[in-house]
Structure 1
Amino acid sequence: MKFENVVLGVLALKPFHGYELMKWFDTEGQFIRSNTHHSQIYRELARMVKDGLVEFEVDARDGRPDAKIYRITPVGQQVLLEWVRSPFVPTSRFQDADFNTRFAFAIALDLPAALRIVETELEYRRAQVAASRVRSRGIVGVDPIDGFDVESYARYGEHMHVFGADSVDRWMDWLESMRARLVADLGGEETAAPDTAEEHSA
């Protein structure tokens, strides 16, 4: 997930001062991207302005330094939509930041794209569970270094596995509920991905 996609998605909500954007990444944004330094945000904004994805106007302030108000451009909107609609590739870790971010923006920009994202994630998790639940988790042929407690490793590892399996099951239940809601909101019809021509004319 590119940093610019997150910035474009946030600016699709409303124009932001640079400081407001920093505060967003310190609060809501921390769940999408960890440890985003303020200098990274300003470097990214400068690059995006240069690339025509974002523009700004100067907010003159009496007795204080002027501030820039950043807003997404039509080119930036197109790039954001193309990312939202592009094929989603799940990772081995569920509730990955790319899913959460893309889904959050897709539900506001393109419900059929949001449905495709959910269905792709659900199909992947079902296959992952089917393949991994039957695997042998025993430790074979161990030769640990001194101080490595194999018994504790196995015992607590089993607790982690049980918790993880339960969490994935609950995640799939949530995906099922989101899929049902999206299908209902789309009038009960599942829609195919837009072709390239449609995508670039949006």
Structure 2
Amino acid sequence: MALRDAILVSLSDGAMSGYDLAKHFDQTVSFFWRATHSQIYRELAKLKDKGQVSAEEIPQRGKPNRIVYSITEAGRNAVLAWSRQPCVQDRVKDDFLVRLYGLEHMDLDALREHLVQRLDGHRDRLAEFTAIANATEPNTIAALGRRRGLEIGLRYEREWAEWCEETLDALSPENLADLNCVLPFTPTTKEEVA
């Protein structure tokens, strides 16, 4: 999937300004596809050049004109063509998991701190997804797709939070004391860190 596909799918819900699209993106698609606002604006310009979106300039008093983007028939055809392409399953790229793989060479206090931060992030997203799930939506095919996507998001965040808790416990000094190992070198001065 490319950013253009995510934008076209979002615009299929209705016309939006670039600002509104970026905001909508932040609250929906960005949970599984990341993009900056500047990337979204650049992609909108490309989609307009390809005729897959149209842009209408709406004058505003005391503000810059508002440009509202709508998906065109060519854009809808592009979404349909994209839906027929095979889905690519990305491999996990996670620097924390690489650090965990090399655990015996890591600063365990720093690793625990990273785990706590990660746990907090997963709990925050889980709370956010739960709030979205509790909002009622009409019984439509669009709502079904969103609910199924939301369900995997809930499971993902719940499982990661649980895994972080278990890993924090496994990396506790008490549990590490039971292992037959040499603990990693922990720098004590700034010179040793550099």
Q: Which TM class, normalised by the smaller chain length?
A: 0.3 to 0.5
Normalising by structure 2, we get a TM-score of 0.46
Output the TM-score relative to the length of structure 1.
Answer: 0.44
